[in-house]
Amino acid sequence: MTEGTTESSGRTMHLIRGRRVTVLDLLDAGLVGVGEKLRFTRSRIGAVYDATVTEKGRIRLVPDGEEFRSPSRAAMVAAGMRAVDGWHAWHVVDQGRMLDAVRQELLDRAISTAAAAANRQNEDVDRQRIHSRLREARGRADERNPESFSVRDLLALWGVKDRGDQVSQIEADLANHGLVTSPSFRAVTLDTTVSLITPPDEEDEPPEAGRSGMDNLPVAEDDEGGDDLNVRLTVGNLSPLRGVESVSPNSTLEEAITKMLLNDYSQLAVLSGPRNLRGAVTWRSVAQAMHQRPEASVADAIDPLVEVVPYDRDLFEVLPTLQQRDFVFVLNESKVIEGIVTTADVAQRYGELATPFFQLGELDQTLRWILGRSFDVESIRPYCNRKVESFDQLTIGDYLRVLENNEAWAKLGWPLDRSAFIERLDAIRVIRNKVMHFHPDPVPEDAVEKLRRFNRLLHQYRDLA
- pLDDT tens for residues 383-429? 887 888 888 889 899 999 999 999 999 999 999 999 999 999 999 99
Whether residue 202 is contained in a domain is answered as: no
Question: Considering the chain, what is the average pLDDT of its residues?
Answer: 85
Cis peptide bond upstream of 183, omega within 30: yes
Give me the pLDDT at residue 6, please. Answer: 42
367 shares a domain with 320: no
HSE-CB for 150 with a 13 A CA cutoff: 11
- Residue 407 CA to residue 215 CA, distance in Å, equals 64
331-341: b or e for each residue (b if 16 or more CB lie within 10 Å)? bbbeebbbbbb
Boundary residue ending a domain (166, 197, 228)? 197
Q: What is the 3-state secondary structure (H, E, C) of 267-283?
A: EEEEECCCCCEEEEEEH
Question: Is 373 found in the same domain as 404?
Answer: yes
Q: Is residue 384 part of a domain?
A: yes
Query: At residue 41, what are phi and psi to the nearest 5 degrees?
Result: -110, 125
Within this chain, do residues 156 and 66 fall inside the same structural domain, yes or no? Answer: yes
Does residue 351 share a domain with residue 431?
A: yes
Q: Grade residue 205 by pLDDT with cuts at 50, 70 and 90.
A: very low
More confidently predicted of 96 and 440:
96
Identify the weakest region by mean pLDDT among 161-165, 216-220, 344-348. 216-220
Lowest average pLDDT, out of 2-6, 8-12, 358-362, 457-461, goes to 2-6
97-98 and 180-182: which strand pairing? unpaired
Q: Report yes or no on 99 lying in a domain.
A: yes
Percent of the residues in the chain that have a pLDDT greater than 70, as a whole number = 86
Number of domains in the chain: 3
80: left (phi over 0), alpha (psi -120 to 50) or beta: left
Give the per-residue pLDDT at 462: 85
176 and 243 share a domain?
Answer: no
Tens digits of residue pLDDT in 103-146: 999 988 877 765 555 445 555 677 788 888 999 999 999 999 99
- Residue 3, in any domain of the structure: no
Rounded to whole angstroms, the Cα distance separating 132 from 152 reads 20
pLDDT for res 312 = 92
Using one digit for the tens of pLDDT, what is the confidence trace for 257-308?
999 999 999 999 999 988 899 999 999 999 999 999 999 999 999 999 999 9
Residue 367 and residue 269 share a domain: no
The span from the CA of 311 to the CA of 181, in Å, is 14
Is the preceding omega at residue 199 within 30 degrees of 0, hence cis?
no
Neighbours of 154 (CB within 10 A): 22
The answer on 86 and 13 residing in a single domain is yes
Domain presence at residue 35: yes
Phi then psi for residue 21, to 5 deg, are: -70, 140
* Residue 334 vs residue 207, higher pLDDT: 334
Range of the domain at 308: 237-335
Residue 305 sits in the same domain as residue 399 = no
Give the model's confidence band at 438: pLDDT under 50 very low, under 70 low, under 90 confident, else very high. low
Q: What pLDDT is stored for residue 131 in this prediction?
A: 87
Query: In degrees to the nearest 10, what's the CA dihedral of 202, 203, 206, 207?
Result: -110
Nearest to 72 by CA among 86, 58, 61: 86
Are 100 and 178 in contact, with CB atoms under 8 Å apart?
A: yes
CA distance 170 to 18: 7
Averaged pLDDT for residues 62-87: 91
Same domain for 416 and 326: no
In this prediction, residue 181 has a pLDDT band, given cuts at 50, 70 and 90, of very high
Query: Comparing C-alpha atoms, which of 38, 33, 65 is closest to residue 49?
Result: 38
Given a cut of 80, whether residue 465 has pLDDT beyond it is no
pLDDT value of residue 18:
63
CA 247 to chain centre: 33
Q: What average pLDDT does the segment 336-364 reach?
A: 92
Residue 64: the pLDDT is 87
220 inside domain:
no
Residues 177 and 322 in one domain: no
Phi, psi of 230 (to 5 degrees): -135, 95
- Which is more confident, 309 or 17? 309
Check whether residue 88 and residue 188 sit in a common domain: yes
- Cα–Cα distance between 368 and 429 in angstroms, integer? 15
Which CATH number belongs to the domain containing residue 312 in this structure? 3.10.580.10
Burial 450-460 (b: 16+ CB within 10 A, else e): bbeebbeebee
| Mean pLDDT, range 54-70, rounded to an integer | 93
215 occurs within a structural domain: no
Burial profile 47-80: b = 16 or more Cβ within 10 angstroms, e = fewer:
eebbbbbbeebbbbbeeeeeebbbbbbbbbbbbe
